[in-house]
Amino acid sequence: NAGVTQTPKFRILKIGQSMTLQCTQDMNHNYMYWYRQDPGMGLKLIYYSVGAGITDKGEVPNGYNVSRSTTEDFPLRLELAAPSQTSVYFCASRASAGISTDTQYFGPGTRLTVL
Amino acid sequence: AQTVTQSQPEMSVQEAETVTLSCTYDTSESDYYLFWYKQPPSRQMILVIRQEAYKQQNATENRFSVNFQKAAKSFSLKISDSQLGDAAMYFCAQIISNFGNEKLTFGTGTRLTIIP
């Protein structure tokens, strides 16, 4: 299993541009998450999904959108990039059945800079 | 609301020695899980160890162990026989056992340096 994969690894955007951060997991996990990590801070939840077709806001959803058309994919969309969205973005997933359903597994992250 | 506090922004330890990283948390829930994640320079978040709040026995994973004090709401991580590869940011995190609350709350992290 590749686990949780994210693309791209790095990206520089200009203010007002849009982009989609991709996240895919091959563990058949129902739950998926997007976090952002600002310098010197822990992770904050942006959006999450409990299954295909179901999404919900986390702690810091403003300026972002998500969709979940398949179990495997959970893309994060930035519509009008702002400097405040400069951060490292992590995708995570967890199982809803079986052992260790409380544990989230993280992708390698995407470093986004908005200039 | 849950909060997780890591009061040590930075720690250092001699290689092969033992170090303890502190974490305290605050929740009104009785059923929850606690985690320590490691974030090396590669930025990958790697699960180090997890603890179920209803279990009194402290979790252990090889050189990593925790001291879970539920009444004191304390969850420290002990790393024995420190190795150079242990150098990283370490984050303490908590989630309550409640489908509908999907928030994994993180502390601000402790940067661990291993001195050769």
pLDDT tens-digit profile of A12-66?
A: 999 999 999 999 999 999 999 999 999 888 899 999 998 999 999 988 999 999 9
Are A1 and A93 in contact by the 8 Å Cβ rule? The answer is no
Closest residue in chain A to residue B31, using alpha carbons only: A102
CA distance A109 to chain B (A): 7
- The verdict on a CB contact (< 8 Å) between A106 and B108 is no
pLDDT of residue A90: 95
- The verdict on a CB contact (< 8 Å) between B103 and A40 is no
% residues pLDDT > 90 (chain B): 72
pLDDT of residue A98: 59
Nearest to A42 among B42, B97, B109 (CB): B109
pLDDT of residue B96: 78
B interface residues, A as partner, C-beta within 8 Å: 4, 33, 35, 37, 42-47, 50, 52, 91, 93, 95, 97, 99, 102-109
pLDDT of residue A97: 63
Contacts of B106 in chain A (CB under 8 A): 42-44
Nearest to B108 among A40, A92, A100 (CB): A40
Tell me the pLDDT of chain A averaged across its residues. Answer: 91
pLDDT of residue B82: 97
Q: Which residues pair with B36 in a beta bridge?
A: B49, B92
pLDDT of residue A87: 96
Is residue B97 scored above 70 in pLDDT?
Answer: no
Distance, in Å, from the CA atom of A87 to the CA atom of B19, rounded to the nearest integer, reads 30
Are A68 and A49 in contact by the 8 Å Cβ rule? The answer is yes
Distance, in Å, from the CA atom of A78 to the CA atom of A74, rounded to the nearest integer, reads 13
pLDDT in tens, B19-52: 999 999 998 888 888 999 999 988 888 999 999 8
Q: Name A80's Cβ contacts closer than 8 Å, sequence gap at least 6.
A: A16, A17, A18, A63
pLDDT of residue A104: 86
Distance, in Å, from the CA atom of A48 to the CA atom of A41, rounded to the nearest integer, reads 20
